[in-house]
């Protein structure tokens, strides 16, 4: 297999972008040609469909258009330019400027912009700027907009403790300091992700009691994602068993077996449940 | 040196230039375009898809610290030296064919030489892979039947190689110490049809008067080769040398097919091209593979320039 | 003059060929013939193993019989070139309507070229009408809840799987009878080792060249991983403080960097020794051989046993001139005197995902018909045709596997898996390049452990770095999606579908963020350990 063959793969990789490029020119041209067609709705649908490039072009084409909510458009432009390829420092700076501009308002886009500014500093800038990211997560929460996405910032703050504090005692201290965040959360999604993260953080650091408490709160909001639900139930049951809270352990083992029999852990869990029940019946 | 021509003369039959457009387009698309693409992508963190992130020179800095990549040059260095010696049988065969008195036999030898070229390269590779099979392969059967194996086992005991054992089939591609020898043995008796034809063309351009003068001086056949034929086909030798070096440095099909994407036991069969393939298609680091490719390109260019400068042809 | 005429004719022919070729390239023959009220849909896949093409053909003919206006064309593509073929077809806009997904389709290609099937997954399959699955959402009619067709990063279903898979040991029953006088297959590791010894004795006695196990660098690791797995089940439970009872690859690598376990941990050494013990019964130098070489050895009757997936069952049976017996891989049990100490029990296959997943392309000229055919294939009645003709396991709940597929039914009464020492590219590479130190004539568990110890940290750090990049990329991509869903859900608070999608996206993003931070923590620990190495 000669080197030229490998190069031809790169050629294909590039050549295959030509139709997309041409299409994008056509799409772009058609946007300008037909001003009635592009809408914020179409742009958001493209963004939701993982087509950030297309979404960005539509948002840009809507600039200055009558009847368009300019703040929503700006926000759309900022969140979509983050994923326009190739991702460059210039794109990131453009998004940052737009988000900072949006912070001046006092609507839902201000809160969301603050959250995404945190994301931008946490993962997009080179080098990453974690102190600024944490500050933006916190200030976004303090706004109290009640937006579920903004409130997931609390869980992201919690998750950071794992890499920041490898030693269990430091991690527990850091998690304790994050306990007050709970009072700032209004949405079930925000509360659930926060308590789930806290539960996992505590259990990883070895504080089963606190971990179980948070996991039980998270679980009370219910999960729609099956893998998260299954993992949460097993963790609750295991932590409760360790803490000799056999009733809770048995309850969650049963819940798991009732719903997730097609899981590689189900046989082991059934065995653990039997052992637990046998222990409960012993005098 | 060609004589300069006037602009008018050059443009007189301008229509003829149109004929080179298709070739230019093909060369541009399939040779220059991918190379430019590789240069462009070497500055990105790129997984082969649309998503890519500009990372400046990071890929190149990582290449400098890539132990596997630099270690692979040791293997390729040995293979280049071995391939240099593997050119000798082709030169000798070309001389033998050239010295045949009968034109008819010369013709038939050339035909016999070219015929195997019809067999696709991949089939040859598979046949050799089968030769190396530890349990059913021809190589093990041959050394077993000829008694060479017993000698090798004794030598192994003496030198402590730890690769040849009595009653255990030799895993030619499964033992690190045997991988490079196996790669060198590959292609025995190392007669490349293209190489022979190139040398033959060179030999045939030697005038008969040179041979006649040599005969009058009572020159032996070997002296003829040493003082007449070899110096006069140096242009062809140099061409073959350049092609061989480029081919050896770029190629990895042989290693990939015989040893897999990791270069076999101990990674001893890992060559730069295979590592580039591994990073692109196994690790999904296409941007990094492009940077590796550029390093390889610079290396080949340097070697070719060195070759052109120092392997001189006396006119 | 004659020469000139011939030249003109030659040139003319060349020109005609060129024009025709150019025309066919620029204006290809329509791939879908809608003329005369016939709709043609095309289905592409890479499963060239025996039985699959016939099964898809049978399903297609059944569909055509019930839908006279439709013609289904099957396009089988070799696995080796599937990715290149697929990319060309997708970008060129000539992709078939239905395509098997799994190889060569990145998340971005999936989202760009394929139709999300989440809506379809939540709807009952109309072709299940009149069965016990009537009214049940499609996803719940597939044995794994259709997880085999779900994309975690994109939070959407993209494929409908048709089959189940498992790995088993295939035996040459005729040879077994010749060697042992009976056809009883080994049920545990001890019986298996005894059998291997008997094959060797028989070979020596009769002079017939026979080996107990056919292996290659494809089949060998399948068997080895299962054996090694058995020795590390308890280790995995111990190294998982999160209490999910599952193997946590990232956390396990972090624990390695922190010195909690190493290559000389008793469980690992025991696993290496077990692998070496079994490798002694394979062909010498098996790691230099390929999948086809091992199959060739087996079907030629040169070995008693081979390990392979259920996907090879029909091919092996059709090629072998002897009767084939199939049984679970004979891993040691808890009462094994030598290897029983670290075992929890047999490996569970209850969590295995459904496979042979088909997706719908966005460019399909007949999306309704294509979707309908997909549902047709995933119905209880037609999935029975699939298993009966292909000999592969079904994916639809309640479909009885064809008798030849019965040995591949998943083992439900088993325990979670052990450690996978080579799950990622660079760890795989060092495993492969050091394997000769374990399986070679002078190999040993200790030599292998020493070499792995030397290379492991560097390789795992490299893999963790790559994993981090990939998780970061997923996180970044999901940011735009999250924002879009947040705005849409805010605009339409009563839209339940958007609310559900936002909820799923939030949970997926939370999981991704958790993985991101765990990977960062593991990478940090690995880099520190690497820097502190002499």
pLDDT of residue A1: 40
Best of A53, A83, A86, A91 to substitute, by most chain B Cβ atoms within 10 angstroms, is A86
Cβ atoms of C354 and C161 within 8 Å: the answer is yes
By CA distance, what is A9's nearest residue in C?
Answer: C84
| Complex confidence, ipTM | 0.87
Helices (H), C159-312: 173-180, 189-206, 219-231, 233-238, 249-257, 266-279, 291-299
Residue A35 is predicted with a pLDDT of 37
Provide the CA A238 distance to its chain's centre, in angstroms: 26
Could you tell me how many CB contacts below 8 A there are between chain A and chain C? 188
Instruction: Give chain B positions within 8 Å (CB) of A7.
Output: 31, 34-35, 38, 293
* CA C447 – CA C436 distance, rounded (Å): 10
Chain A contact present for B307, CB below 8 A: no
Residues C416 and A265: beta-carbon distance below 8 Å: yes
CA distance C364 to B80: 51
Q: What is the pLDDT of residues A208-265, one digit of tens each?
A: 999 999 999 999 999 988 888 999 999 999 999 999 999 999 999 999 999 998 889 9
Three-class HEC string of C78-102 = CHHHHHHHHHHHHHHCCCCCEEEEC
Helices and strands (H and E) in chain C: how many:
20, 12
Q: What is the mean pLDDT of residues C325-341?
A: 93
- B135 has a chain C CB within 8 A of its CB: yes
- Quote the CA–CA distance of C22 and C3 in Å, as a whole number: 28
pLDDT digits (tens, 9 = 90+) for B124-141: 888 888 899 888 889 999
At B142, list the tokens: 């041959």
CA distance C290 to chain A (A): 18
B126 touches chain A (CB under 8 A): no
Percentage with pLDDT > 90 across chain B: 43
- Helix (H) / strand (E) element for C160: namely strand C160-164
- The answer to whether residue B35 scores a pLDDT higher than 50 is yes
pLDDT for C30 equals 52
Residues C340 and C333 sit within 8 Å (Cβ to Cβ): yes
Task: Check residue A17 and give its pLDDT.
Answer: 42
How far is A37 from A50, CA to CA, in rounded Å? Answer: 20
A231 and chain C: CB distance < 8 Å anywhere?
A: yes
- Measured distance CA(C39)–CA(B126) in Å, rounded: 44
Note whether B181 contacts C: Cβ–Cβ < 8 A.
no
Question: What subunits make at least 3 CB pairs under 8 angstroms with B?
Answer: A, C
Alpha helices in C283-379 (DSSP H): 291-299, 313-319, 367-377
Angle at C329 between CA C327 and CA C333, to 5 degrees: 115
Give the list of residues 6+ apart from residue B145 with CB closer than 8 angstroms, or none: none
Using a CB–CB cutoff of 8 Å, tell me whether B13 touches chain A.
no
Bridge partners (DSSP) of residue C39 are C70
Report strand pairing: C150-151 vs C156-157.
Answer: antiparallel
Quote the tokens at residue C110: 């999936």
User: What is the C-alpha to C-alpha distance for residues B20 and B247, in angstroms, rounded to an integer?
Assistant: 27
Q: In this predicted structure, what is the pLDDT of residue B207? A: 87
Mean pLDDT of C290-316: 92
Average pLDDT over residues C446-469: 96
- Give the pLDDT band of residue C459 (cuts 50, 70, 90): very high
Peptide linkage before A127 cis (omega within 30 of 0) = yes
- Summarize the confidence of residues A2-22 as an average pLDDT: 43
| Mean pLDDT within C191-219 | 92
What span, in angstroms and rounded, lies between the C-alpha atoms of C299 and C214?
A: 10
Residue C516, chain A, CB below 8 Å: the answer is yes
Mean pLDDT of A172-194: 96
The 3-class SS string of B9-29 reads: HHHHCHHHHHHHHHHHHHHHH
Residue located via tokens 């990105």 = B44
Mean pLDDT value across residues B28-41: 91
Which residues on neighbouring strands pair with residue B284, listed in sequence order? none
Per-residue pLDDT at A15 exceeds 60: no
Does the pLDDT of residue B175 top 50, yes or no?
yes
| Neighbour subunits, A (≥3 Cβ pairs < 8 A) | B, C
Contact status of A168 with chain C (Cβ, < 8 Å) = no
Sign of the Cα torsion A214, A215, A221, A225 reads positive
Touching check for C88 and chain A: CB below 8 Å?
Answer: yes
Please give the pLDDT value at position A31: 37
CA distance linking residue A134 with residue B135, whole number of Å:
63
Residues of A in contact with C500 (CB under 8 A): 224
| Chain B contact probe: residue of A2, A3, A91 with most B CBs at under 10 A | A3
Query: Mind listing the pLDDT tens digit for each residue in B231-267?
Result: 999 888 888 888 888 889 988 988 998 898 899 999 9
Tell me how far CA of residue A108 lies from CA of A114, A140, A155, B245, in angstroms: 10, 10, 20, 64
pLDDT, tens digit (0-9, with 9 covering 90-100), for C394-431: 999 999 999 999 999 999 999 999 999 998 999 999 99
Please give the pLDDT value at position B18.
87
pLDDT for C474-485, tens place per residue?
A: 899 899 999 999
Nearest to A50 by CA among C105, C109, B53, C83: C109
Give the pLDDT confidence score for residue A7 in this predicted structure.
44
Give the tens place of pLDDT for each residue, C32-81: 445 567 899 999 999 998 899 999 999 999 999 999 999 999 999 998 78
Q: Which residue, among C153, C480, C486, would best test binding to A if mutated, counting the most A CBs under 10 Å from its CB?
A: C480
Most trustworthy range by pLDDT among A66-70, A118-122, B305-309, C500-504: A118-122
> What percent of chain B has pLDDT above 70?
97
Q: How close, in Å, is residue A86 to chain B by CA atoms?
A: 5
Q: Is the CB of C513 less than 8 angstroms away from the CB of A156? A: yes
Judge whether C53 and C74 are in contact, CB under 8 Å. Answer: yes
Q: For A87, which residue in chain B has the nearest alpha carbon? A: B53
Question: If we measure between CA atoms, which residue out of C72, C117, C17, C528 comes closest to residue C361?
Answer: C117
- B315, burial (CB in 10 Å: exposed 0-12, middle 13-18, buried 19+): exposed
Quick one: how far is CA C292 from the chain centroid? Answer: 18
Report yes or no: B48 at the C interface, CB cutoff 8 Å.
Answer: yes
| C512 and C479 Cβ atoms separated by less than 8 Å | no
Which of C283, C432, C466 is closest, CB to CB, to B262? Answer: C432
With beta carbons under 8 A apart, name residues in chain B contacting C432.
260, 262
Please say if the pLDDT value at position B188 is more than 80. yes
pLDDT value of position B165: 83
Residue B54 and residue A2: Cβ atoms within 8 Å? no
CA angle B262, B249, B42 (to 5 degrees): 75
d(CA B303, CA B194): 22
Task: Please name the member of A48, A238, A263 whose beta carbon is closest to the beta carbon of C351.
Answer: A263
Q: How far is B89 from chain A (nearest CA, A)?
A: 24
Q: With the C-alpha atoms ordered B230, B231, B235, B241, is the resulting torsion angle positive or negative?
A: positive
Q: Is the CB of residue C101 less than 8 Å from the CB of residue C114?
A: yes
Give pLDDT tens digits for C145-185: 999 999 877 778 999 999 999 999 999 999 999 999 999 99
C20 Cβ contact list (under 8 Å, min separation 6)? none
What integer is the mean pLDDT of B32-60?
A: 90
The predicted structure's pLDDT at residue C36: 60
Q: Which pLDDT score is estimated for C195? A: 95
Q: Which residue has the higher pLDDT, C200 or A11?
A: C200
Instruction: Using the predicted structure, report yes or no on whether residue B163 has a pLDDT greater than 60.
Output: yes
How close is the nearest chain A Cα to the Cα of C364, in Å? 17
- Beta-sheet strands, E only, within chain B: 44-46, 52-54
Q: In what order do the strands lie in the sheet containing C167-172?
A: C211-214, C303-309, C167-172, C324-327
Residue C28: band (very low, low, confident or very high) from pLDDT cuts 50, 70, 90: low
The answer to whether C465 contacts chain B (CB < 8 Å) is no
Q: Do A204 and C502 touch (CB under 8 A)?
A: no
Task: Name the DSSP letter for residue C344.
Answer: -
Q: How close is the nearest chain A Cα to the Cα of B202, in Å?
A: 27
The rounded mean pLDDT for chain C is: 91
Phi, psi of C98 (to 5 degrees): -125, 130
**What is the C-alpha separation between C215 and C290, in angstroms, rounded?**
8
pLDDT of residue C25: 66
Three-state DSSP class for C284? coil
pLDDT at C215 over 90: yes
Q: Average pLDDT, whole number, for chain B? A: 88
Three-class SS string for chain A? CCHHHHHHHHHHHHHCHHHHHHHHHHHHHHHHHCCCCCCHHHHHHHHHCCCHHHHHHHHHHCCCCCCCCHHHHHHHHHHHHCCCCCECHHHHHHHHHHHHHHCCCCCHHHHHHHHHHHHHHHHHCCCCCHHHHHHHHHHHHHHCCCCHHHHHHHHHHHHHHHHHCCCHHHHHHHHHHCHHHHHHCCCHHHHHHHHHHHHHHHHHHCCHHHHHHHHHHHHHCCCCCHHHHHHHHHHHHHHHHHCCCHHHHHHHHHHHHHHCCCCCCHHHHHHHHHHHHHHHHCC
| pLDDT over 50 at A24, yes or no | no
Q: Per residue in B64-116, pLDDT tens?
A: 999 999 999 999 999 999 999 999 999 999 999 998 888 899 899 988 888 88
Tell me the two tokens of residue C216. Answer: 């290659």
């Amino acid at each position: 297999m000669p080197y030229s063959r490998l190069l031809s793969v790169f050629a294909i990789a590039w050549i295959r972008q030509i139709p997309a490029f041409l299409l994008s020119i056509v799409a772009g041209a058609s946007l300008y040609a037909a001003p009635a067609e592009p809408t914020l709705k179409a742009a958001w649908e493209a963004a939701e469909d993982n087509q950030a490039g297309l979404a960005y072009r539509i948002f840009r084409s809507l600039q200055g258009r009558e009847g368009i909510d300019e703040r929503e458009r700006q926000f759309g432009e900022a969140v979509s330019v983050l994923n326009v390829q190739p991702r460059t420092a210039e794109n990131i700076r453009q998004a940052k400027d737009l988000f900072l501009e949006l912070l001046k308002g006092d609507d839902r886009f201000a809160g969301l912009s603050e959250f995404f500014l945190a994301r931008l500093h946490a993962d997009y800038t080179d080098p990453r700027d974690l102190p600024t990211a944490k500050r933006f997560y916190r200030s976004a929460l303090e706004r109290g907009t009640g937006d579920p996405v903004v409130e997931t910032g609390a869980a992201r703050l919690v998750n950071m403790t794992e890499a920041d504090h490898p030693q269990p005692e430091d991690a527990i201290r850091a998690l304790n300091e994050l306990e007050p965040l709970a009072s700032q959360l209004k949405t079930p999604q925000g509360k659930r992700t926060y308590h789930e993260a806290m539960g996992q953080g505590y259990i990883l650091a070895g504080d089963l009691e606190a971990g179980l408490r948070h996991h039980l709160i998270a679980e009370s909001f219910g999960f729609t994602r099956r893998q998260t639900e299954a993992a949460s139930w097993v963790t609750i049951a295991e932590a409760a068993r360790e803490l000799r809270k056999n009733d809770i352990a048995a309850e969650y083992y049963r819940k798991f077996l009732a719903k997730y029999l097609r899981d590689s852990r189900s046989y082991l869990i059934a065995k653990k449940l039997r052992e637990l029940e046998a222990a409960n019946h012993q005098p | 040196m060609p004589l300069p021509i006037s602009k008018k003369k050059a443009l007189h039959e301008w229509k003829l230039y149109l004929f080179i457009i298709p070739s230019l387009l093909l060369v541009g698309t399939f040779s220059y375009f991918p190379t430019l693409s590789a240069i462009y992508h070497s500055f990105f963190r790129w997984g082969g898809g649309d998503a890519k992130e500009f990372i400046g020179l990071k890929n190149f800095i990582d290449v400098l610290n890539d132990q596997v990549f630099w270690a692979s040059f040791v293997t390729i260095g040995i293979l280049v030296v071995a391939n240099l010696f593997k050119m000798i049988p082709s030169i000798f065969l070309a001389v033998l064919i050239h010295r045949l008195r009968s034109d008819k036999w010369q013709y038939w030898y050339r035909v016999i030489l070219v015929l195997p070229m019809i067999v696709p390269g991949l089939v040859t590779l598979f046949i050799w892979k089968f030769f190396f099979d530890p349990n059913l392969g021809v190589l093990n059967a041959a050394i077993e039947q000829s008694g060479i194996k017993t000698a090798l086992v004794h030598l192994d005991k003496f030198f402590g190689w730890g690769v040849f054992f009595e009653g255990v089939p030799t895993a030619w591609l499964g033992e690190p110490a045997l991988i490079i020898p196996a790669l060198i043995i590959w292609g025995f008796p190392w007669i490349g049809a293209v190489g022979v034809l190139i040398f033959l063309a060179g030999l045939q351009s030697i005038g008969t008067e040179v041979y006649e003068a040599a005969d009058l001086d009572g020159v032996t056949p070997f002296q003829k080769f040493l003082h007449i034929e070899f110096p006069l086909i140096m242009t062809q030798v140099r061409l073959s040398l350049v092609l061989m070096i480029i081919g050896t440095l770029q190629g990895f099909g042989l290693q990939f097919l015989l040893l897999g994407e990791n270069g076999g036991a101990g990674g001893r069969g890992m060559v730069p091209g295979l590592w580039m393939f591994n990073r692109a298609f196994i690790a999904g680091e296409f941007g990094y593979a492009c940077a590796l490719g550029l390093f390889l390109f610079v290396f080949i260019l340097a070697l070719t320039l060195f070759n052109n400068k120092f392997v001189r042809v006396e006119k | 003059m004659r020469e000139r005429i011939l030249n003109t004719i030659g040139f003319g022919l060349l020109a005609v060929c060129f024009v025709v070729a150019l025309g066919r390239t620029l204006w290809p023959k329509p791939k879908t013939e809608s003329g005369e009220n016939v709709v043609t849909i095309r289905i592409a896949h890479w499963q060239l193993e025996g039985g699959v093409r016939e099964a898809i053909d049978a399903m297609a003919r059944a569909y055509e019989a019930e839908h006279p206006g439709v013609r289904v064309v099957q396009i089988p593509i070799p696995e080796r070139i599937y990715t290149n073929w697929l990319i060309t077809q997708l970008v060129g806009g000539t992709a078939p309507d239905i395509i098997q997904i799994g190889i060569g389709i990145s998340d971005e290609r999936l989202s760009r070229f394929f139709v999300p099937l989440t809506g379809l997954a939540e709807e009952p399959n109309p072709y299940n009408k009149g069965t016990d699955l009537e009214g049940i959402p499609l996803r719940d009619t597939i044995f794994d809840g259709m997880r085999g067709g779900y994309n975690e990063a994109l939070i959407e279903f993209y494929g409908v799987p048709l089959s189940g898979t498992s790995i088993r040991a295939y035996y040459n029953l005729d040879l077994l009878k010749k060697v042992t006088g009976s056809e009883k297959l080994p049920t545990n590791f001890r019986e298996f080792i005894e059998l291997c010894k008997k094959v060797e004795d028989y070979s020596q006695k009769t002079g017939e060249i026979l080996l107990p196990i056919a292996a290659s660098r494809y089949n060998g690791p399948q068997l080895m991983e299962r054996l090694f797995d058995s020795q590390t089940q308890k280790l995995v439970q111990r190294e998982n403080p999160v209490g999910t009872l599952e193997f946590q690859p990232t956390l396990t690598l972090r624990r390695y960097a922190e010195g909690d376990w190493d290559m000389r941990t008793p469980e690992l050494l025991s696993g290496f020794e077990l692998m070496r013990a079994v490798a002694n019964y394979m062909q010498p130098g098996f790691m230099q051989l390929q999948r086809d070489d091992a199959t060739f050895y087996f079907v030629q009757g040169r070995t008693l046993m081979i390990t392979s997936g259920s996907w090879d069952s029909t091919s092996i049976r059709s090629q072998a001139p002897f009767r084939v017996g199939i049984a679970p891989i004979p891993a040691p049990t808890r009462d094994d005197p030598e290897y029983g100490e670290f075992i929890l029990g047999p490996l569970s296959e209850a969590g295995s995902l459904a496979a042979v997943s088909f997706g719908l392309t966005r460019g399909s000229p007949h999306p309704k018909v294509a979707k309908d055919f997909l549902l047709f294939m995933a119905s209880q009645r037609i999935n029975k045709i699939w298993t009966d003709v292909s000999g592969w396991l079904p994916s639809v709940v309640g479909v009885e596997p064809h008798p030849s597929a019965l040995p591949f039914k998943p083992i439900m009464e088993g325990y979670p898996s052990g450690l996978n020492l080579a799950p990622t590219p660079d760890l795989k590479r060092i495993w492969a390049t050091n394997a000769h130190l374990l399986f070679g004539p002078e190999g040993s568990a200790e030599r292998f452990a020493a070499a792995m110890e030397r290379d492991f940290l560097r390789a795992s750090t490299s893999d963790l770095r790559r994993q981090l990049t990939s998780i970061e990329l997923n996180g970044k991509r999901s940011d735009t999606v999250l924002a879009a869903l947040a705005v849409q859900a805010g605009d339409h608070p009563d839209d339940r579908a958007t609310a559900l999608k936002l909820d799923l996206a939030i949970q997926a993003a939370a999981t991704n963020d958790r993985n991101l931070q765990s990977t960062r923590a593991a990478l940090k620990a690995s880099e520190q350990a690497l820097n502190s190495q002499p």
